[in-house]
Structure 1
Amino acid sequence: MSAEVAPQAKTGPLAGLTVIEMAGIGPVPLAGLMLSEMGAEVLRIERAGSPRPFLTLPDEYDIDRHGRSILRIDLKRWEGAELVLRLVEKADMLIEGFRPDVMERLGLGPDAVLARNSALIYGRTTGFGQDGPLSDRAGHITYLAYSGVLHAIGHEGGRPVPPLNLVADYGGGAVMLVAGALAALFERSRSGRGQVIDAAMTEGASMLTTPVHALMAAGLWSGMRGANLLDSGAPFYDTYETADARHVAVGCLEPRFFAEFARLLPLDERFVRGQYDRTLWPQMRAAIVDRVGQKTRDDWDRLFAATDACVAPVLSLREARDHPHNRARNAFVTSGALERPAPAPRFSRSRPTLAAMPADYDRQAATVLARFGLPEIETEALVKSGVIG
């Protein structure tokens, strides 16, 4: 448990929780950010002497390092691994995203770590899981390809479209890791014991498609891309180009919402009566294309803004920051030079801690290690010997 670590000036429902994040890219840094902004004290351990990731941002924009303390440790030396084990003794959670067996080779696998702290939650995120024929493979978009998710995203007759890295890395990886970690913390409150979380991005992404698998089983979803209710196959659930070469999103699935959409567009009444008659869909789509193309995106926004027709302007990421609803909700925040989405989710009593740039690294080591009970003279020796880089 983390009671021995001096409390920090952080707020949020996880205040008092201590997390060790093994530095990497993708889902684990996002999970670390989420836990930090929920109030956890996150210590990010970077491997001394290792190159920075291939995509390196200036510090003010490097969100993978915001909201944490940082130590650079030479993990190839036994003294470095031993230092991590001493830190683990006073932590609640460790999260890592290396390929299987990497942490074991460093002497920091679950067996070694849980032997030092049996109450620790050990969270592992990989593409394919800790075992299985693909477990040691690298990949990015390939995780979605193996899960079947990528095949389902795109228009009829077109290629599968990568949905950024939101579905596998962040939805199937980071969010599933955080959900699993919090579930394990709850279980620990009853058992007093930690456990290992195996969060595979392929399986996490697949889990997100569970309702689609249910529709398939019921015969309501075909294996064809862009031919189904929620994948642009239905003309009332798609995007349309406007007169100014921008787009609106139309998502009026329910008949009463579609009727409102048809009234304002307008569309012929026969389409309202036959909304789910697939034989009418080609004509319906052509009519929508024709009508939407006659006005600009913002014209349609003004027309539909106060209705339940489920029509919205397709905003760019920059435009989304300035939308009146997002401004009213303070959905975006400024942290130094970075304007970014606000911490989510929100809590009725607990205020999140907005992640800031880490303090000057050269002044961090003694402060960080003091919180874990290491005396300054020992920290100085570790720095002098190169264990801390």
Structure 2
Amino acid sequence: MADAPLKGLRVIEMGSLIAGPFCGQVLGDFGAEVIKLEDPKAGDPMRQWGRTKPKGHSPWWPVIGRNKSSVTLDLRAPEGRDVARALIATADVVVENFRPGTLEKWGMGYDDLASTNPGLVMARVSGFGQTGPYSHRAGYALIGEAMGGLRHITGEADRPPARAGISIGDSLAGLNAALGVMMALHARQRTGKGQVVDAAIYESVLTVMENLITEYDLSGYVRERSGAILPGIAPSNVYPTRSGELILIGANQDTLFKRLCEAMGRPELATDERYRDHAARGVNQLQLDATIAGWTVEHDIEALLPLLEDAGLAVGRVYRAPDMLKDPQFAARQSIVEVAHPVFGTVKMQNAFPQLSDTPGGVRWPGPALGEHTDAVLGAVAGLSAEAIAGLRAKGVV
């Protein structure tokens, strides 16, 4: 990755769990030098997360810790904060996701750090942002997803709100933070000054909520849970097949719906007054879906897929991890890569996205052992002698 787009960018990651570290993961994937500071006693809790523990190790850590150097440092100790300041003085970016006010309490707020490094960009990821009456509340993804509007519209209409199955609020906040870092670095090229990127989880969810606010403002309509469909967008749903698998079909445009009708052997449906245009299909969505399901369930998915693909329709299976690992599209684009690992031998994980044509990102190594790079980084970057590092280690600071 000699030509990685962020090569030469130094990032100090101070944070744990998902939201802040996901920002560091994204930056590291594209070549940034990410130095992760971890508590000497236990490290990032992500080292312990996961429903399974193959060979006694978390399958989470190789992913979110990838492409990072691990340095143990107790930021609660004055000596630890002194070392952190020395590292940050050499950095382009700091990523943190402590509760707002924590760094200020330690004398490490943005103004303090920028006084010796005016070009510093600090990405601050939190539940509610650095300002406002909720800023000091604990903010986890489930709260941000609820306040941002995602939870209320997720799930079946007759059941309580569901979750996505992943901590999507955390990942969206981390992604927003990485995008903000790129914007701030671009601005720094003009001004020479760094700035704070304030990424709140609830706002990161809100930003992908399409027209939810505007629709209510203009019409009073409150979007509700609708299960596998979007109300008024038809046909676009999952349908049963004779082989037992579900098939997804999207044919809500008039031209696509006509092709679907022809593939079904029911061309007359395209001119039926109930389905003849987008609005009519929306009004009669449930009836139309029942008609399509009655056709798909008479066929195996292996027959339906090529038939509908040849008709130019958006169609596919509902994938699980095993399906991804054997799919030729994933293989052709190297969407999943296999990385050498000291415990697992090799480990498969998603690649770096998006794909760049000339300076792509990639996975150089999986999440490192706790403190694996402490001596090397503190010596080369912070300028500490071996004796000084040994002294800090004796005090439990590193």
TM-score by length of 2: 0.86
1:151 corresponds in structure 2 to 152
1:68 and 1:360 mapped to 2: Cα distance? 10
2:294 and 2:242 mapped to 1: Cα distance? 10
1:3 corresponds in structure 2 to none
State the SS of the aligned residue for 2:286: helix
Shift of 1:362: 6.0
Residues 59 and 357 of structure 1 are in contact (CA less than 8 Å); yes or no, is this contact kept in structure 2? no
Gaps (5+ residues) in structure 1? 1-8
> What are the equivalent positions in structure 2 for 1:1-389 lying under 5 Å apart?
11-50=3-42, 52-53=44-45, 55=49, 58=57, 62=61, 63-135=63-135, 136-165=137-166, 167-171=168-172, 173-216=173-216, 219=219, 222-226=222-226, 231=230, 234-267=233-266, 268-269=269-270, 270=272, 272-277=275-280, 278-336=282-340, 337-358=346-367, 364-377=373-386, 378-388=388-398
State the SS of the aligned residue for 1:273: coil
1:343 and 1:144 mapped to 2: Cα distance? 25
The percent identity for this pair of structures is 23
Shift of 1:334: 0.9
Residues 15 and 21 of structure 2 are in contact (CA less than 8 Å); yes or no, is this contact kept in structure 1? yes
Shift of 1:191: 0.7
1:27-85 CA-to-partner distances (Å, cap 9, x unmatched) read 22221111011110000000223565262662675122221111111112101001000
Distance 1:358 1:276, change over 3 A: closer
1:363 and 1:310 mapped to 2: Cα distance? 47
State the SS of the aligned residue for 2:310: coil
2:343 corresponds in structure 1 to none
State the SS of the aligned residue for 2:65: coil
Residues 10 and 34 of structure 2 are in contact (CA less than 8 Å); yes or no, is this contact kept in structure 1? yes
Shift of 1:360: 5.5
Shift of 1:380: 2.9
Task: Give RMSD over aligned pairs.
Answer: 2.5
1:153-204 CA-to-partner distances (Å, cap 9, x unmatched) read 2333343221233541112x01110111110000111111111111001011
Q: Which moves more between the two structures, 337-346 or 127-136?
A: 127-136
State the SS of the aligned residue for 2:239: strand
1:318 and 1:138 mapped to 2: Cα distance? 34
1:4 corresponds in structure 2 to none
State the SS of the aligned residue for 1:370: helix
Residues 254 and 277 of structure 2 are in contact (CA less than 8 Å); yes or no, is this contact kept in structure 1? no
Shift of 1:296: 2.8
Amino acid at match of 1:237: S
Residues 215 and 221 of structure 1 are in contact (CA less than 8 Å); yes or no, is this contact kept in structure 2? yes
State the SS of the aligned residue for 1:99: coil
Q: Which moves more between the two structures, 364-373 or 121-130?
A: 364-373
Distance 1:223 1:21, change over 3 A: same
Residues 232 and 279 of structure 2 are in contact (CA less than 8 Å); yes or no, is this contact kept in structure 1? no
Gaps (5+ residues) in structure 2? 341-345
State the SS of the aligned residue for 1:327: helix
2:382 and 2:140 mapped to 1: Cα distance? 39
Residues 226 and 233 of structure 1 are in contact (CA less than 8 Å); yes or no, is this contact kept in structure 2? no
Distance 1:96 1:10, change over 3 A: farther
Residues 351 and 362 of structure 2 are in contact (CA less than 8 Å); yes or no, is this contact kept in structure 1? no
Residues 352 and 361 of structure 2 are in contact (CA less than 8 Å); yes or no, is this contact kept in structure 1? yes
Distance 1:308 1:220, change over 3 A: farther
Shift of 1:105: 2.4
2:142 and 2:315 mapped to 1: Cα distance? 30
Shift of 1:98: 1.4
2:181 and 2:114 mapped to 1: Cα distance? 15
Q: Which moves more between the two structures, 88-97 or 100-109?
A: 100-109
1:5 corresponds in structure 2 to none
Residues 241 and 248 of structure 1 are in contact (CA less than 8 Å); yes or no, is this contact kept in structure 2? yes
Distance 1:332 1:181, change over 3 A: same
Residues 70 and 371 of structure 2 are in contact (CA less than 8 Å); yes or no, is this contact kept in structure 1? no
1:94 and 1:51 mapped to 2: Cα distance? 18
Distance 1:322 1:213, change over 3 A: farther
Distance 1:304 1:221, change over 3 A: farther
2:121 and 2:158 mapped to 1: Cα distance? 46
Q: Which moves more between the two structures, 315-324 or 374-383?
A: 374-383
State the SS of the aligned residue for 1:276: helix
